[in-house]
Structure 1
């Protein structure tokens, strides 16, 4: 079973009033049309793309990227990025703070998430994840051989695979220790020599006067209420996505050394 970070108690949200519900409608309805309209378009394109290209997805990632970029415009959340997404074969790791991470990380670079297998069964989110090419795995060292085969196939197809090595989400103000289990697959002889891993830091900036953890989604927080209060915010904050220089796997002796180096880089970026 995946560990869940609980941390301090979540901030208390005031009951939504009429103006709040109007903001929910003004932002939420266009956002729903964007997300589900984009999903339908993606699935229609995939009907042609899959038999012609197999694992390669030359068109549909652009649909995902457009949806994620436009989502921040509709939400009114400022989006900024710094640094350069890497080119060539490789993986990406980032800290995990919110469901907004999916939009933030897809908006700048076309990537494919690696997620715990339980997510595939979640209503709504699971469907979106499968449609956009998410790789589902069990976080178990015994499954490493199968994971290596999956990662090798996806990387050889030109996919950038994104991992959340903390294994859970936080309040966005800190970075938990990276779990090194998944990094064992990177040291397979078929991957190690050519593989790079790029650390990325996500920094959320709460609306003026709001709790600094406003956009954080962690512990037992329900998705629905968190989404509603995000949509209802009188003013919005922002998110910064910081791309750090990629690290070469062959420069590290083992998975623990690589995980620690990536963790320290991401934590420094979050701390600012």
Structure 2
């Protein structure tokens, strides 16, 4: 079962190519690729050492995704500002989903392991990187609920902080779609309920001055490569604001549906109101 893609009736405004855009994209993209190529084998080597010394836990190799993400945003010239702080309690993080850029954004300010749909594991380029960084892959099928719960429980007991996107799809970055309660169910199992909290996090992308306010969004059937090039070649960049909301203890919430509503409300609270032009698309 796959989630339907969110789409918009107002097509995105593509920024025109200007002089030196191609060169700018190469000068930003090449160091990012080199950074990944250097850090990936170092991470895998560290992972091998971890397996021999601490088993399935990842106390050292989780440094690399955060380092690569922070450096990549700096190379692209996109400043990142945070309000609040990541929780220290065991549990999960939930956030709104606007773009593939969320992976860099949310990795840059905390040590997390993403929860992703199983199909991503087979995507060219992205799949191997996701597997190497410890992404938890799940099949969105009710028949897999038991296995999913056991997997979440095992990772949480290792001290891993899981991050997932309850909207189930990405948007234009201006809105928050209704949170699906399905993924919250595992945290209400007796083995986890009294131990974990869930922290809502809002990611707000502010477009470059004069650009389409949805500049950093990635939705519908947009392709990854053109989106990446658009970000890399931008003469002026916008910025990113991340708000860490207060964690919500699972034991204090009656059920998964109420938890989904509470988290959605918190995430939505840190985004400005949508302009009339984009409100009903």
Please give the TM-score of this superposition, normalised by the length of structure 1. 0.97
Aligned length: 272
Shift of 1:18: 4.4
CA separation in 1, counterparts of 2:15 and 2:240?
23
1:7: which partner in 2? 8
2:127: which partner in 1? 126
2:40: which partner in 1? 39
Q: Which moved more, 1:93-102 or 1:14-23?
A: 14-23
Q: RMSD of the TM alignment (CA)? A: 1.2
CA separation in 2, counterparts of 1:244 and 1:36?
34
Shift of 1:139: 1.5
Unaligned runs of 5+ in 2: 274-281
CA separation in 1, counterparts of 2:229 and 2:11?
15
Shift of 1:68: 0.8
Unaligned runs of 5+ in 1: none
CA separation in 2, counterparts of 1:199 and 1:10?
30
CA separation in 1, counterparts of 2:229 and 2:7?
21
Residue 47 of structure 2 is aligned to residue 30 of structure 1:
no
CA separation in 2, counterparts of 1:90 and 1:131?
21
2:278: which partner in 1? none
Please give the TM-score of this superposition, normalised by the length of structure 2. 0.94
CA separation in 2, counterparts of 1:37 and 1:237?
28
Native 8 Å contact 2:199 2:247 kept in 1: yes
Shift of 1:49: 1.6
Shift of 1:36: 2.4
Native 8 Å contact 1:56 1:157 kept in 2: yes
1:88-123 C-alpha deviation (Å, 9 max, x unpaired): 211000000011101111111100000000000001
CA separation in 1, counterparts of 2:203 and 2:13?
23
Shift of 1:17: 4.4
Native 8 Å contact 2:13 2:212 kept in 1: no
Q: Residue 147 of structure 2: SS of its match in structure 1? A: helix
Q: Which moved more, 1:30-39 or 1:170-179?
A: 30-39
Residue 257 of structure 2 is aligned to residue 256 of structure 1:
yes
